[in-house]
Structure 1
Amino acid sequence: MPLSMKVNLKTLTFNKILKKAPIVSLDGQPVLLFNQQYPSLLIALEHKKVKVFSECRNGYCGACKTKIISGTVTYHTEPLVELKDDECLPCCCTPTSDLNLKLSSEGCDVVTRPGISAKVINQPQTKS
Structure 2
Amino acid sequence: MHKVENQNKEFKQVWNEGGLPPGINVSDLKKWHLSRPRNELLADVFFKAGMIEAWGRGTVKIMDECKKAGLPEPEFKEEFGGLSVHFHKGKSEKKVGGQLGDGLGEKRGESGEKVGRKFEPESNKNSGSNRH
**Fold shared, TM-score > 0.5 on shorter chain:** no
Q: TM-score, normalised on structure 1?
A: 0.23
Question: Which one has the bigger helix percentage?
Answer: 2
Q: Which has the larger radius of gyration?
A: 2
Q: TM-score, normalised on structure 2?
A: 0.22
